[in-house]
Amino acid sequence: MTEEIYRDILNKIRSYAEGPQIVDYAMRTITHAAIVGYVAMLGVFLLNKQYHALYENILVTGVAFAVVSLLRKKIGAKRPYETMKFEPIADRKGGGDSFPSRHVFSIFIIAVAMLKQNIWLGLLFLVMGLFLAVLRVIAGLHYPRDVIAGALIGIISGGLGFFLIFPGRM
Q: Residue-wise pLDDT tens for the chain (170 aa)? A: 888 999 999 999 999 999 999 999 999 999 999 999 999 999 999 999 999 999 999 999 999 999 999 999 999 999 999 999 888 888 777 778 999 999 999 999 999 999 999 999 999 999 999 999 999 999 999 999 999 999 999 999 999 999 888 877 65
User: Which of 125, 34, 141 is closest to 81 using CA atoms?
Assistant: 141
How many structural domains does the chain have?
Answer: 1
Residue-number span of the structural domain to which 125 is assigned: 3-165
The answer to whether residue 57 is domain-embedded is: yes
How far apart are the C-alpha atoms of 169 and 146, rounded to whole Å? 32
pTM for the predicted model, two decimal places: 0.94
- Bond into 100 cis (ω within 30): yes
Does the residue 69 lie in any domain?
yes
Could you tell me the CATH number of the domain that includes residue 92? 1.20.144.10
Tell whether 157 is covered by a domain: yes
- The verdict on residue 144 lying in a domain is yes
Task: Judge whether 170 lies within some domain.
Answer: no
Please state, in angstroms and rounded to a whole number, the distance separating the CA atoms of residues 89 and 95.
14
The CA distance from 125 to 33, in Å, is: 9
- Residue 77 belongs to a domain: yes
Q: Is residue 24 part of a domain?
A: yes
- Please tell me the distance from the alpha carbon of residue 57 to that of residue 75, in angstroms, as a whole number: 27
